[in-house]
Amino acid sequence: MQTIVNELHEQQYERLITGLISNEFGICDNFFSADIIEELRKNLLNNYEEGIMYRAGIGKDSEYTKDKEIRRDVICWIDEKSENVTERLFIQKMNEFVEYLNKTCYTSINAFEFHYAYYDVGSFYKRHVDQFKNDNGRLFSFVMYLNDNWQFNDGGELVLYTQQQTEIILPIGGRVAFFKSDVIEHEVKVALTKPRLSIVGWMKNV
């Protein structure tokens, strides 16, 4: 059954797609309402306080390692069948966005995965691409920030290295960054004054 996309959502999706085509990345602020961002932020912090987030690694399968000199965030995956009301709203919109991408851009996405990411003060992720050497299933990277009242001197910027320019993106709550997983090198600068919170994921063909 085809999803009917409301006008606001269509404008947001088109903003991300247009940015991707024109600049190699799309940016959209206020992707969800402030109330939903707040609830997702609470979910992340509850997971952190309950100790269910774990040190993230790099690579896959036999190449998987945990290296604090490359990345220092902790994560926990969002269940695609989560019963949490706000997570269900998030997954529903991601399904809608994927359907829109497949319909308008013929992207052949057939799966996605998302996790919460917590960067404590002093944490970072050095320059990298999101595609594995032994698995090319990731097509697009999607990052949505959950921070409250983030300022430039808080650090934690996302830096995108495109063919045209180096773009610095402040991780403001509700802001989304969208780019090709196998093309754009990027890094997360050090969180300087407080923890940096986000949802990170990939739209895939598996």
Average pLDDT over residues 27-39: 98
Q: What is the pLDDT of residue 57?
A: 62
pLDDT at 131 (0 to 100): 86
Check residue 4 and give its pLDDT: 73
Radius of gyration from C-alpha coordinates of the chain:
16
Helix, strand, or coil (residue 100): helix
**pLDDT score recorded for residue 132:** 72
On the question of pLDDT at 136 being above 60, the answer is yes
pLDDT tens for 69-125 read 677 899 999 999 999 999 999 999 999 999 999 999 999 999 999 999 999 999 999
Q: pLDDT by residue (tens digit) across 164-173?
A: 899 999 999 9
Is the CB of residue 94 less than 8 Å from the CB of residue 114?
Answer: yes
Residue range 154-163: mean pLDDT, rounded:
97
Instruction: State the DSSP string of 25-89.
Output: EEEES-SS-HHHHHHHHHHHHHHHHTT--EE--BS-GGG-B--TTTB--EEEEPPTT---HHHHH
Q: What is the rounded CA–CA span in Å between residue 64 and residue 9?
A: 37
Domains contained in the chain, CATH given: 7-204 (2.60.120.620)
pTM: 0.92
Of residues 199, 45, 49, 188, the one with CA closest to residue 122: 188
Q: Indicate the residue type of 112.
A: F
